[in-house]
Amino acid sequence: MRYVLRRLLLVPIPLLLVVAFVFVVLRLTGDPVAIYLGLDATPEQEELLRAELHLDQPIPVQFAYFLADLLQGDFGTSIQFKMAAMQIVGERLEATLLLLGLGLSAAIVLGVLGGVACAVWKDKLPDFVISVLAVAGQSMPSFWLGILLIQFFALDLGWLPTSGRGGWEHLVLPTVTLATFLVPNFILVTRISVLETAREQFVVTARARGAGAARALWLHVLPNAINPVVSLIGLQLGRLMGGAVVTETIFAWPGVGRLMVSAIFQRDVPVVIASVFIVAVTIVIANLLVDLVQAAIDPRIRMR
């Protein structure tokens, strides 16, 4: 319980750092009043909006107002959609979480199975083939793979749609694209972890007492080799979110990533802030869950 409380107390720190970074970037990239009103605004209109946004106050006071608005969920009104920015991002969040969940699940299942297969058949044909595929997948950029999949499965064969959101068939190509660049990491980490655990004394003792290879693998090796894989999930979440931005853009998937790219090009500052904040909150919460799972698997983590 003390470990959980300690981890919960650390949650606001990365969020505060992200908010401070966003605030600084906003102040460095131009006058918000000019972005909101455009070039045709009169000096009176600029002065009125500057006072309304508290931009006539000292920087520390502006940051305090900025924080207060964020705590209330007030990210301002979208310049592009003329709606509350948080409402727009919230409507796109479900699509992004669905894509991230499927992509990460596929990467974990395929990566762990591939890594175990490589460890079991070490230095044999399956190990060589899977390792080569893992390196190839690691080397291929997501945008390039997505374009290839669209060309082959959607345009040439006509089996799957090219883009958009609809039934399950719309999820196949984006999920494969998102999972492909994560699978190699899970394969390599699982392979190394299984091989190292298999050399531990307790595994050797279990084999000496008559445990078969399969029993030793499932009962002794895998439960102790899974912790590095769980750690890798936490490390890959930020990369996964970056991959989601690229994947959503390629497949016109209506998620937060595509919305954020569009908002950046349209200089829709409130939507950009809300999107960055939601992405940061998602990553922080997911990392918190990963830490709690690790602590549940390995009690030594709770005692540190």
One domain for residues 155 and 122:
yes
Do 119 and 27 sit in the same domain of this protein?
A: no
* pLDDT for res 113: 92
Q: Which has the closest alpha carbon to 276: 2, 85, 28?
A: 85
Q: How many domains does the chain have?
A: 2
Q: Given this model, what pLDDT does residue 172 score?
A: 92
* Residue 273 Cα to chain centre, angstroms: 17
Running DSSP on this structure, what letter comes out for residue 83?
S
| 120 shares its domain with 227 | yes
Query: Residue 188 corresponds to which tokens in the numbers above?
Result: 């390599």
Q: What pLDDT, on a 0 to 100 scale, did the predictor assign at position 39? A: 67
The whole-number pLDDT of residue 114 equals: 92
Task: Mark whether 62 and 91 lie in a shared domain.
Answer: no
Domain boundary among 63, 80, 97: 80
10-residue averages of pLDDT along the chain (304 residues)? 74 82 76 70 77 78 84 81 87 90 91 91 88 81 85 89 85 89 88 89 85 83 84 79 84 88 81 86 83 77 62
Residues 127 and 261 in one domain: yes
Per-residue tokens: 52: 């309304």
- Indicate if 72 and 96 belong to the same structural domain: no
Both 62 and 100 in a single domain? no
CA angle centred on 72, ends 70 and 73, rounded to 5°: 65
The DSSP symbol for 218 reads I
Phi, psi of 79 (to 5 degrees): -70, -35
CA distance 244 to 242: 5
The residues that bridge with 84 in the sheet, in sequence order, are 77
Distance separating alpha carbons of residues 187 and 177, to the nearest angstrom? 17
SS (H, E, C) 113-175: HHHHHHHHCCCCHHHHHHHHHHHHHHHCCHHHHHHHHHHHHHHHCCCCCCCCCCCCHHHHHHH
At residue 74's C-alpha, the angle toward residues 68 and 78, to 5°, is: 140
pLDDT at 106: 92
Domain span at 100? 86-302
DSSP-derived letter for residue 220 is I
Say whether both 166 and 65 belong to one domain. no
How many angstroms separate the CA atoms of 30 and 263, rounded? 16
Short-list 215, 217, 21, CA closest to 121 = 217
Q: What is the DSSP letter of 200?
A: S
